[in-house]
Amino acid sequence: MTLLLAITAPVAPGAKGAKVLGILAPMVSGVVLRPQSIAGVGLDELVRLRAEGLLRLAIADLALDSPADLRHLRDAVDVVTLAATAPDLTAAAESVRSSGLEPAVKVPVGCKVSVEELVAASRDLRFWGLVIDGRDLGLIRGLRSSHLEARIAVDFSLEVRPRLGDGICAGASYEIIGRPLEESGNPLELLKALIYEQRVGMSRCSGQQGLQGPS
């Protein structure tokens, strides 16, 4: 399973969005939560979903650019993103790790940090992985050809109709989706369709045939 579900819009406490998360989360590899949505879903709800085995992976997409005490998130999420352009990436990563969490690096489009610097930082600082914008698949290919071993999550969460499978074919470990589900009147059926679309997209680079449609 290689899809991550991003909760990108604000979620009011107790709202439908928070309840839908409990239905959709078991169908994907994990969720990516932006700052404005963490409070709405609620730390207690995230802890519950994890305790019940409904949430395999939770990433707090904070894009931190300085050290922070994140111990309050320890039981609710697994990974916290750091900004690739943070002045002291080492200190920021250590603050995440000392809070009992794993650091990942978020790389925006047009980031001036080189492939070589990202590969070295990932190796030396033991990142969980990198989060890379879906418009920058060339960077993913460059990182893999430079022998990056860390996970890569490619972020399609703001795209209305992402071309799923392309990120995996470029070398990503996960593809992040979000906007279509948040705007759908039937997110469960749409997620099933997106899972199938991703399998079809992945077949373009794996040569698989005979895929079955969404059930």
CB atoms within 10 A of CB 66: 12
Domain ranges across the chain? 3-206
Digit-coded pLDDT (tens) for 47-96: 999 999 999 999 999 999 999 999 999 999 999 999 999 999 999 999 99
Interval 151-193: pLDDT, tens: 999 999 988 788 999 999 999 999 999 887 877 888 899 999 9
Q: If one looks up domain 3-206 in CATH, what number appears?
A: 3.20.20.70
Q: Which H or E run contains 115?
A: helix 115-125
| Arithmetic mean of pLDDT over the chain | 88
Per-residue pLDDT band for 210 (boundaries 50, 70, 90) equals very low
Maximum alpha-carbon separation in the chain: 50
* Spatial separation of the C-alpha atoms in residues 84 and 111, rounded to whole Å: 8
- Cα 6 to Cα 162: distance, rounded to the nearest angstrom: 13
